[in-house]
Amino acid sequence: MGDTAYIYLEDGTSFQGDAFGYNTVKCGELIFTTSMNGYPESLSDPSYAGQIMIITHPLVGNYGVPKRSSDDGILLNFESEKVQVDGLIVSELTKSEKWNCALNLDEWLANQNTPGISGLDTRLLTKKVRDKGAMMCAISTRGRLRYPERVLKKDYTKINFVEQLSPKRPIVQNRYRKSVVVVDCGVKHGILRNVSRLGYNVIRVPYNYTADKIMSFNPAGVLYSNGPGNPNLLKEVVSSMQTVLEYKIPVFGICLGHQIASLALGGRVRKMKFGHRAVNKAVVDQISGKAYITSHNHGYAMTPRDMPDEGKIWLMSPDDNIVEGALYKKRNMMTTQFHPEGRPGTNDAGFIFGMFGKMIKENGN
Partner 1 sequence: MVTEMTGRKVIVLGSGAIKIGEAAEFDYSGSQALRVLKEEGYESVLINPNVATVQTSYDMADKVYLLPVEPYFIERVIEKERPWGVMVGFGGQTALSAGVALHHSGVFKKYGIKVLGTSIDGIERALSREKFKETMREHGIKVPPSGSAKNKKSAIRLAKRLGYPLMMRVSFNLGGRGSAVLWNEKDLERELERAFAQSSIGEILLERYLHGWKEIEYEVVRDSMGNCAVTACIENLDPMGVHTGDSVVVTPAQTLDNYEYQMMRTISIRVAEAINLVGECNVQFALSPHGYEAYVIETNPRMSRSSALASKATGYPLAYVAAKIAFGHNLYDIKNSVSKSTTAFFEPSLDYITIKMPRWDLAKFDSAVQSVGTEMKSIGEVMAIGRNFEEAMQKAVRMLQIGEPGLVGGPIYHSSMGKKEIVETLKQRRPYWQLYVMKAFKEGMSVYEVHDITSVDLFFLKKLHSLAQTYEKRSKKPNAKEYKSMKRLGFSDAQLGVSRSNNLSVKQIDTMAGEWPAQTNYLYTTSLGEEDDIDTKAKKRKLLVLGAGVFRIGVSVEFDFGSVALAEGAKRYFDEVSMINYNPETVSTDWDRVHKLYFDELTEETVVNVHRKEKFESIATFAGGQIGNNLSLALERRGIKLFGTSGKSIDIAEDRNRFSALLEKLGIKQASWASATSLNQMSEFVEKFGFPVLVRPSYVLSGSAMKIANNMSELADYIDAATKLSPKHPIIMSSFIKEGIEAELDCGADGENAMGVTLRHIEEAGVHSGDSTIATPFLDGGPSAKMKEIALRLVNELDIKGPFNLQFIIEKNEPLVIELNLRASRSMPFASKSVGVNIMDHAINGVFGRFDWNGFYEPEHRAFAVKSPQFSWGQLRGAYPVLGPEMRSTGESAAFGRSLNSALIKSWLGVQPNKVPSAGVLIYGEKDRGLLKETADALAQKIGVSTLAVAPMHNHPALEIKHALDLIDQKRIDMIITNNGMRNVDYEIRRKAVDLNIPIVLNARLGRALADALFLDNLDCDEMKEHWKGGSVVSVG
The count of chain residues that interact with partner 1, using the rule CB under 8 A, is 54
Residue 57 interacts with partner 1 (CB under 8 A): yes or no: yes
Q: In sequence order, what DSSP letters do the residues of 79-138 get, joined into one string?
A: SSSS---SEEE-SEE-----TTEEE-HHHHHHHTT-EEEESS-HHHHHHHHHHH-SEEEE
Active site residues per annotation: 255, 339, 341
Which amino acid makes up residue 299? G
For the segment 131-170, give every residue that binds partner 1 (CB under 8 A): 131
Of 342, 349, 357, 360, the one binding partner 1 by CB under 8 A: 342
The size of the chain, in residues, is 365
Distant-in-sequence, close-in-space partners of 225: CB < 8 Å, separation ≥ 6:
182, 183, 184, 185, 186, 187, 188, 191, 254, 255, 256, 257
Is the distance from CB of 90 to CB of 139 less than 8 angstroms? no
| Binding region for partner 1 (CB under 8 A) out of 202-210, 220-228, 255-263, 340-348 | 340-348
Q: Is 34 in the site for partner 1 (CB under 8 A)?
A: yes
Q: Tell me how far apart the alpha carbons of residues 282 and 279 are, in angstroms, rounded to a whole number.
A: 9
Taking the complex as a whole, how short is the minimal distance between the CB of residue 344 and partner 1, in angstroms?
4
Stretch that binds partner 1, among 3-11, 235-243, 286-294, 357-365 (CB under 8 A): 286-294
CB of 69 to partner 1, least distance (A): 11
Shorter beta-carbon distance to partner 1: residue 61 or 267 = 61
Q: Which of 204, 258, 298, 343 binds partner 1 (CB under 8 A)?
A: 343
62 binds partner 1 (CB under 8 A): yes
Is residue 330 within the footprint of partner 1 (CB under 8 A)? no
Give the closest residue to 138 by CA, choosing from 56, 277, 49, 29. Answer: 29
**Is residue 36 at the binding interface for partner 1, with CB under 8 A as the rule?**
yes
Q: Is 1 in the site for partner 1 (CB under 8 A)?
A: no
User: CA–CA separation, 23 vs 112, rounded Å?
Assistant: 11
Residues that bind partner 1 (CB under 8 A): 32, 34-38, 40-41, 56-59, 62-63, 66, 77, 91-92, 94-100, 120-124, 126-127, 130-131, 278-282, 284, 289-293, 318-319, 342-348
